[in-house]
Every structure is written in structure tokens, then in C-alpha cells.
A and B are shown apart, each in its own frame.
Chain A
Amino acid sequence: MFYRQAGDFKTTYRGDIQTFPLRQDRIAYYLMLAFAFLVVPFVINDYWASAVLIPFLILAIASLGLNILTGYCGLVSLGTGGFMAVGAYACYKLMTAFPDLNMMIVVLLAGFITAAVGLLFGIPSLRIKGFYLAVATLAAQFFLVWLFNKVPWFYNYSASGQINAPERTMLGFEVTGANAEPAVSYLFCLTILTVLALIARNLTRGRIGRSWMAIRDMDIAAEIIGVNPLKTKLSAFAVSSFYIGVAGALFFSVYLGAVEVGEVFGINQSFLILFMIIIGGLGSIFGSFAGAAFMVLMPVLLKNIMVGGLGWPTDIAAHIEFMVVGGLIVIFLIVEPHGLAQLWRVAKEKLLLWPFPH
């Protein structure tokens, strides 16, 4: 009753194929966009920006990327951290080599560079699948992190081996560096996320997304009906790496400002993003957002309860956080393998019918 599909007539072909065909979905979407763009920037403060909102926005981009590869195309990757590192270092090199370049262009270029690297590491996916591929992507993870640690050219021969984001402006406002306003960084990330999410949504609805899903569901059958596995798998790797690269670039330049590659982009980062899409829902755009929000909010919440509320030492809180994350993964896989996105679908179904039984 509260969520209606009936009575929403389309009179044009355009109306029928628009991104959100239902009027209620559309209204909710516009309201959320308006809230995110027009309200949040005025109430945001440093704590919320750095602890919750900015990591959420950036990791949502990364989990969108991984969801395209794993959720839509069925290729499991454990190399997300490594690809994020590629984005971060590409961003750093571009920022220092071309100081006048617009930050938006830098981030996009970093994404394209990561896409190229992703293509390279995607080649084995043509011969292997399942966890064989997962192990192959581990090679990318460890090799890339080692590379950025050992080749001084990547960190401009700095003594510490770290990379530090120089201050860069966008439309006259500082986006990166220590003096950036939280609202500006937030809006910068939000804009990129909004555009990328819209693109992802439409990619997955279109021909290319359907060929990804065909490969995921049964690659041999897909090949027989004329889906080219080479093009499909490599395009999934390229698009996914582009998203992950953009996320890595933002994570380094806007969020952290300084990065030690082994710590920030290690194997645990890969797992974190994999967990986001499992909990959020494999093969769902909404799920990428829900999973990212969940995995960003939960540690903050747990920490606030256990350390702030009960006064336990932080190391115990960290152990319990590990247990909760691991336990939740198992529970989700058993109880709801389609994740939070499926819960949302069920809720919508309920809203559709309630209070009538049928």
C-alpha cells in the first residue's frame, strides 16, 4: 500500500527505459540526492566527515567496482587493495608532475591507469576461474604493493617512502591537503560517487551488463549464445579497476593525505571491500552502498560502545570487532546470501502488500 507499482503509466519510450522507472523510486532518489548535496554540507563537521562520511563515499566507489567484477561478472578478486594502490600512486605521480592539472581530471586519469593495470592482471581470467582466479589476483595484490614499496620513482625518492598529497584546488576551493574544508572534500567525493553510481547502474542494465551476468551464470552457455568471453571478462576487469582506481586515488588524496602502501592498501583492505559486497549483496548497486555503509559504521559504533561506553581497552574492542565481522560474514552467507539488498527487496515487497495479505 505504501509502495506502489500500479497506476504508474508510461506514455513515452524514454519514460519506460529511464534509470528509475517507478515514480516513487525516482522521488526517493531525488530527495536523497537533494539531502546529500544541499543539507549535509552545511551540517557536516570534522569528526563526521573523517570518521564516517568520506570513507563511506570512497569505499562505496570501491565496492561498486568490486561488485561489477565479482557480483555481476562472477570473477572473485582479492587484489582490490593492490588496485587501489595503483590509483593512489598514479594520482600522486600526476599531482606532482602536473601541479596545474584539475583535480577531477587527475582522479579520472588515475582511474584509467588502474584500468590498464587491471586489464593486464585480468588476462589469466580467460583460462581460470573460481578460487584459482582469486589466487591469481593475490599475485597482483602482493606484487603491486611490493613494487610501490621498492621502486623509489613511485614515491618521488622521498626519504620516508611515504607519499603525501600536495594541496590542490578545485574551482578555487582546496580539496586536498591539511587545510581542506570537510564540506568541500565531501562534495568532491559525493559528486564523483553520484556520477559513477549512475554509470554503473546503467551499465549493468544495458547490453554489457547483461553479457557480464551471462558469463557469471554459466560461461559455457553464454559463449554458445554468442557472448564473447574475452571482451566480456576483460571489460569487467577494466571497468571494475577504473572504479577501484578512482577510489584509491580519493582514499589517498582526499581522505588520508599520506599513505604507507603496505599498511593502507594491504590484503586486509581487499578483504574489507569483499566483505562489503558480501554483506551488501552481490550483484546489486544498492547493495554496494549498503555494504559500504555497514562496514564503515559498524566499527565506529562498536568502538563507541565498547571503548567510550564501557571503558574497555582498545585492543579488546579490536578483537571483538574481528569476531563480529567474521561472524556476520558467515551468518549472512548462511541466512541471506544475497545480503542487505535482498532484505531491502523483501521490505519493499512487504510495503507493497501491507496491510492486505495478498
Chain B
Amino acid sequence: MSPQFLYTIEVMLNGLMAGVMYSLVALGFVLIFKASGIFNYAQGVMALFAAMTLVGIQNGQVPFAHLVNAVFGTNIHGFGWNLPALFAIILTLGVMILFAILVERLILKHLVNQEPIILFMATIGLAFFMEGFGDLMWGSDIKVLDVGIPSGGSLWLEDKTIGWAAEGSNYYGMYIDKLDIVATLVALLLVITLTLFSQYTKTGRALRAVADDHQAALSVGISLRRIWVIVWAISGFVALVAGIMWGAKSGVQFSLSLIALKALPVLILGGFTSIPGAIIGGLIIGVGEKLFEFTIGPLIGGATENWFAYVLALLFLVFRPQGLFGEKIIERV
């Protein structure tokens, strides 16, 4: 095989892995959208917030330390402990559930029956609030997240593939980050769990009932408010997983919340209401943008990854507004 061909394969594989990461964020969007018709712009910031909280708890940071220091002139920094990763993850999950309850109590309860676009703008406000709140709580410096996921290039794969190229060519094997492989497995596991959960548990059935028809669900005795809390808690959990993966990959920093924006075109491709759609949309965007950058990018100045996904989504919208797997949009008067 020629090195050029192998490079293309490598780019595609890396694109697939990146796509899995996008899908992780997109999953959270789909869950909330299905259950409450809310397009949750804050999903990316939730991932950032979850990752920050995890790092903070793990390293024993005192919340609001620098605010307290600034106001009272004290000099607090940390509790001076290092918690094991699993324990910290469980505590963070608790924080995300608390967050879900607060969101329902303080925001959603008051915005029932508003137009979707109003709810969307409310979540933009929520995203801004959380961004400031997270930074205030844990500080805005870039943090290193380490929960023991292996990372770095996979030497085994490099050794395996180096022999594939023709004899005498400059080819050193494929470079694939171990972290990406773990992320793929985690995403797979997450999707299977979520599917099983929504198919075979009572709460899962209630979730699907609410997604189908709010009023019908209410009339058979499903509490909408409880379902919303559950859904926001689950997507808080998904955000935590996404936050761990992205945080381990590129450090916990503000740019993490911009990934939420990348999830929007993923959703448009996959359809807002389909979990498999979110995954496949993510993969298409991931592979598409990497291949585009690899083949056409150098001709037009590079850094096309910034906009490729959006323009692809835009073109897609013109021809198939409901996405690949979404329900057909029917307008009734």
C-alpha cells in the first residue's frame, strides 16, 4: 500500500475518533431535547463545569477560594488532600444532580409553555452564568485532568502498521491516541446503557412517553417535573463523561465550552431527536472535517475545521431540514 493511502486512512480514523468526542456532547443535547423540547445551549458549559468540579474536588481545591481571598484578605488555597479519581467522579455526579434540580426549580418551572426559541435563549443565559460561576468557583487557569486514562500514541498500532507500506518508503506507522480509543469504547458503552435504560426501565419508558407527548404523559400520571430533573441529571452525567474525555485530551479550559457549538451541526446532520443520529452525525462531521482539512485545507489556507462543520450543516439544512434520522417536520395550522 502506498504511504499516501495509509495517511488518508489515518486521517479518517482520527476523524472518526474526533467524531466520537463530538457525539458525546451531542448525546446530552438529544436527551434534553427529546424529553423537554429544550435546545440546551449550556451543554458544553456543563461539560466544562463538570470537568472543573472534578479537578477541583480531586485536588482538594477550596471552592470560591480566590473570591474569599479577595474579599477578606485571607490566603486559602486548598484542603491539601488528593482524592481517588472514582470517589471524585461520584462526588461530581452528585454536584451535577444538584445542578439539575436547581435548573428545574429556578428556571424550567417558570418557563413551561414558552416558545422553544425563548427556552433556547434562556439556556444561552444559563451558559453564561455557569461559565462565570465555574470560573469564580474553581479559578480560570488551565487545569490538568488526570483520572488514570491511558494516553499518548499507541506503539503497538504503530509497530503493526509500519510494515504495511511498500518497502523503502518513508512511513512510520499510524499514530492513534490511546485516549481516543478509550473515548470510543466509553461512548459505545454509554449509548448501549442509555438505550437499554430507555427501553427496559420504568423511568426510561416514562422518559420516552414524555418525549412523545407531554400532555398524554401527564394524563397517565407521569410527573413532568420529576422527568425533567432526571433528564437534566442524565445529561449532566453525559456532560461529565464528555468533560473527562475532552479534559484529559486537551486540558480543562474555556475552549471546552466551544465544543458545544460544534455539537450543533452534528445534531443538524443526525436529527435532533435521534440518539444513533447523534453518533453518526458526529462521525460524519469528524471524518468530514479532518478529510477536508487534509485534502482541500492546504489549498485555501488551512484551519478550515473552524467552519467546515457549520457550512456542511447549512448545505444539509437546505435539502433535508429534519436531518438524517430526525422525524419529519410536519406543519399543522
A interface, CB within 8 angstroms of B: 76, 123-124, 127-128, 130-132, 134-136, 138-139, 141-143, 145-146, 149-151, 220-221, 267, 271, 274-275, 278, 310, 312-313, 315-316, 318-330, 333-334, 337
Which residues of B127-148 are within 8 A (CB) of A?
127-133, 135-136, 140
The residue that A326 contacts in the complex, of B110, B132, B267, with Cβ under 8 A, is B132
Q: Which residue of A lies closest to B268 (CB)?
A: A135
Interface string of B56-92 (1 = CB under 8 A from A): 0000000000110011000000000000000000000
9 contacts between A and B (CB under 8 A): A131-B39, A138-B310, A139-B310, A312-B70, A312-B71, A313-B70, A326-B125, A326-B131, A329-B121
Assess A320 versus B313: contact at CB under 8 Å? Given A127-B321, A132-B321, A142-B307.
Answer: no
Whether B310 contacts A143 by the Cβ 8 Å rule is yes
Q: Which 3 A-B pairs have the closest CB atoms?
A: A322-B132, A329-B125, A326-B129
B116 close to chain A: CB less than 8 A: yes
Whether A316 contacts B66 by the Cβ 8 Å rule is yes
Whether B268 contacts A127 by the Cβ 8 Å rule is no
Whether B129 contacts A316 by the Cβ 8 Å rule is no
- A-binding segment of B176-184, B204-212, B298-306: B298-306
* New contact pairs (14) apart from A131-B116, A278-B121, A333-B121, CB-CB < 8 Å: A135-B267, A135-B317, A139-B307, A146-B303, A146-B306, A150-B300, A220-B331, A316-B136, A319-B132, A325-B125, A326-B131, A329-B121, A329-B124, A330-B122
Assess A334 versus B111: contact at CB under 8 Å? Given A127-B321, A128-B317, A326-B127.
Answer: yes
The residue that B128 contacts in the complex, of A151, A267, A326, with Cβ under 8 A, is A326
Whether B125 contacts A128 by the Cβ 8 Å rule is no
Q: Which residue of A lies closest to B332 (CB)?
A: A220
Whether B125 contacts A327 by the Cβ 8 Å rule is yes
Number of interface residues of B (CB under 8 A): 50
Docked complex Cα distance between A4 and B271 (Å): 54
B286 close to chain A: CB less than 8 A: no
Q: Which residue of A lies closest to B136 (CB)?
A: A319
Query: Which residues of B sit under 8 angstroms from A132, Cβ to Cβ?
Result: 268, 317, 321
Query: Which residues of A sit under 8 angstroms from B192, Cβ to Cβ?
Result: none
Query: Which residues of B sit under 8 angstroms from A275, Cβ to Cβ?
Result: 125
Query: Which residues of B sit under 8 angstroms from A221, Cβ to Cβ?
Result: 333
Query: Which residues of A sit under 8 angstroms from B110, Cβ to Cβ?
Result: 334
Query: Which residues of A sit under 8 angstroms from B98, Cβ to Cβ?
Result: none
The residue that A138 contacts in the complex, of B66, B127, B264, B333, with Cβ under 8 A, is B264
Q: Output the least CB separation between A315 and chain B (Å).
A: 6
Whether A325 contacts B128 by the Cβ 8 Å rule is yes
